[in-house]
Amino acid sequence: MNIGIFGGTFNPVHKGHVSALKKILSAVSLDRVLVLPDRIPPHKSAEGLVSGSDRLEMCRIAFSGIENIEISDWELKNEGKSYSVITLRHFHEVFSEDKLYFIMGSDMLASFESWYRYEEILTLCSLICVSRSQEDTDRLEGYADKLRAKGGEVIIVPVEPFEISSSQIRDMLKKNLDCTCYLDENVVQYIMAKNLY
């Protein structure tokens, strides 16, 4: 089987995450995708991070319409920062007969060579990177070629640009602005009911 690993802070999970995953599923043959909210992201400040259980539930709601998606709390249950190599070692062992695909955004690929044990990551999985424009794709192919030269497999998948970030959505929520164009309406209801952000 081909198994996708889609990690992220998902604080909150938004329509850009969902549409990117749908595009990836139409471009790459994946039998199953594990969505993993991370405990403490190593690349980002964790300021304003709501609880893992809330982010897990928002992911369940947002991705519920896509087949063969499993929301996993594996990273949330682990102590310390959520280093991708540790997650991939675990799932490489669990799915030893299967092929893993690690899904990332374009900013992640650009900084990939600074990741903890990035060369080991290339031996554990193939990388799928989303690109938001042709210009982005051209730039990313340069990074991808460097990783391919080290034996890595990198697939670039063009997706529709999503012009807002989770941090901008959090600011809108704080100001009680309507976010339904950016968030699943059931996610909005969950956020309001729990008084998140």
pLDDT of residue 181: 94
One-letter amino acid of 33 = V
pLDDT of residue 41: 60
- Whether residue 196 contacts residue 12, with contact meaning beta carbons closer than 8 Å, is answered with yes
Pick the CATH number of 2-162 from 3.30.750.200, 3.10.180.10, 3.40.50.620, 1.20.120.430: 3.40.50.620
pLDDT of residue 47: 65
Q: Which residue positions in the chain have pLDDT lower than 50?
A: none
pLDDT of residue 76: 92
Cα separation, 80 vs 42, whole angstroms: 9
pLDDT of residue 48: 76
Q: Where are the domains of the chain?
A: 2-162
Cα separation, 196 vs 177, whole angstroms: 14
pLDDT of residue 132: 84
Residue 163: burial class (beta carbons within 10 Å; 0-12, 13-18, 19+): exposed
pLDDT of residue 43: 59
Cα separation, 62 vs 164, whole angstroms: 17
Cα separation, 106 vs 129, whole angstroms: 6
